Structure 1
Amino acid sequence: MSDRTIVVIGGTSGIGLEIARDVVARGDRVVLSGRDLARAQEVASSLGERATGVAIDLSRPEGIRAGLATVGTVNGLVLVAIERDANTVRDYDIARATQLVVLKLVGYTEVIHTLIDRLEPSGETGIVLFGGRAKDIPYPGSTTVSTINGGVEGMTTTLALELAPIRVNALHPGIIGDSPFWAGKPAAVLDGHRSRTPGHQLATMVDVVDATQFLLRNRGISGTSIYVDRGVRVT
């Protein structure tokens, strides 16, 4: 068994849960977070004794320090928590937009600020920030999401410089066909998205987990954004 501890912020469901599950399967320890402590602890318990659950709400960054108080030395950090927002500039909801901006840009940064003295100061330590392909493939209603995910790319480069030798990278998923959000979509919708990829296939949660582990472990990668989208950008 490993003494490595990986923190997964947003690890109680979806892709975050699959990442947490994979961390444990590799023999590492995982600390996973959700908004609700009971839920986070329940999910952690289902993963076994090498998993711990804590509660933080990224949209309320003033409480992040208290929520992470029990976390010890950290060897890897994955910030995967997201919220979805359909918000156009013509019909702009300031409250929804503000919440999402705070969650990702302020919340992600405050988590790193809180854990900075507990992150092992080594090139072996990786931080992975989750953005998304909406940053450069917008869609109707993606005004806030596209802007924020572009901001995640900016965070990646500045934090890679500021936190070195700790490595910081970003992962930008495209449409993940078997994720909880997409799996229930009508077949015609998914087929339309498949047709836009070179191989007519959608990326999977396993693809995202594998890419996350690559960025956590590969000492040669820092300040980089990678895309898990089955090559949609080339069509």
Structure 2
Amino acid sequence: MSSVIIVGGTAGIGLELAKHYAVRGRSVVVSGRDRERAEQAAAEVDKIAVADAGGNAPQARGIALDLSRPQDIAAALSDVGPVDRLVLTAIERDLNSIAGYDVERAVRLTTLKLVGYHAVVNALLPQLSPDSSVLFFGGVAKDRPYAGSTTVSTINAGVVGMVRTLSVEIAPIRVNSIHPGIVGDSPFWLAKPAALEDARRRTLTDRSPTTADVVDASVFLLENRAVNGVDLHVDGGRREL
């Protein structure tokens, strides 16, 4: 059976995507830097899927995968088998300005996303079928930089370039990216109510996107066979005031 692989599936949107596919009877693999945490996330996915499917859901797996060590990625993914859907959502939050540039942190984050994402696709390419699809997570910081987003804005812009090249290079496998805005029900932003309210006020929908909104948009990009080479913003139609 082909698997849905969620790289960075131990929490947040990645974990909710894993649950979405598991309750629909799909075999799911979630990865995290720490094996124990990945296995705990897989157990949580199993619990949801079994309850929803009456005990007939395939068992989820948790594996250790560190995108900041791209030389080890192929070995970590060597036994996952055929892959139907591949989602790369793993990222680290970072504040880095050009005035106080931290080279070590910049190299780590750039390696994690721009090299690590590519290395995952390279390692799994033999396991992908012509009907498979790949989804990269970026972010709207590529268009709306903020103080300290020097590295984050740059690598999220790089995700657009990855989609452009890979959608051609590995066709007919589809490659898309999603760029969420401030996700209103995430613990990170719930702890910053002033910033969350300001973001909501700037949307045309008068609401910030939720985790469920981003999951729904991700599934659309992964499953719609006519969608390829697309960079989708999910931000409530934000406008500057």
TM-score category of the 2 structures, normalised to the smaller one:
over 0.9
Unaligned runs of 5+ in 2: 47-57
* Secondary structure of the structure 2 residue equivalent to 1:75: strand
> Map of 1:55-134 to 2, 5 A cutoff?
55-122=64-131, 125-134=132-141
CA apart distance, 1:234 = 7.1
Show the counterpart of 1:219.
225
Structure 1 unaligned regions, length at least 5: none
Distance 2:100 2:4 in 1: 40
Q: Distance in 2 between matches of 1:180 and 1:126?
A: 29
Q: By how many angstroms is 1:121 displaced?
A: 2.1
Deviation digits for residues 145-177 of structure 1 (CA, Å, limit 9, x no counterpart): 111000000000100000101000010011001
| C-alpha contact (below 8 Å) 1:28/1:50 kept by paired residues | no
- Paired amino acid for 2:213: D
How far off its partner does 1:200 sit? 2.0
Task: Give the structure 2 partner of residue 208 of structure 1.
Answer: 214
1:179-207 residue CA offsets vs partner (Å, 9 max, x unmatched) = 1321222x222111111111221000001
Partner SS, residue 121 of structure 1: strand
Shift of the alpha carbon at 1:50? 2.7
Partner of 2:54: none
Q: Which residue does the alignment assign to 1:172?
A: 179
* 2:144 counterpart of 1:146: no
C-alpha distance in 2 between matches for 1:140 and 1:97 = 15
Q: Equivalent of 2:39, from 29, 38, 41?
A: 41
Matched to 2:98, the amino acid is V
Is the Cα–Cα contact under 8 Å of residues 202 and 240 in structure 2 kept in the other structure? no
Cα distance in structure 1, aligned partners of 2:188 and 2:101: 23
Alignment match of 1:14 (pick from 12, 29, 32): 12
Say what the alpha-carbon RMSD is for the aligned residues.
Answer: 1.2
Residue 159 of structure 1 corresponds to 166
- State how far apart, in whole Å, the 2-side matches of 1:87 and 1:234 are: 24
Q: CA–CA distance in 1 between the matches of 2:128 and 2:36?
A: 26
Q: Percent identity?
A: 52
Runs of 4+ with deviation above 2 angstroms: none
Equivalent of residue 201 in structure 2, options 168, 171, 195:
195
Is contact 2:189–2:195 with CA below 8 Å preserved after alignment?
no
Amino acid at match of 2:75: A
CA distance in 2 between counterparts of 1:72 and 1:199 reads: 42
Instruction: State the aligned residue count.
Output: 230
Q: TM-score, normalised by structure 1?
A: 0.95
Secondary structure of the 2:208 match is: coil
SS of residue paired to 1:170: strand
SS at match of 1:227: strand
Aligned counterparts of 1:188 and 1:104: Cα–Cα separation in 2: 29
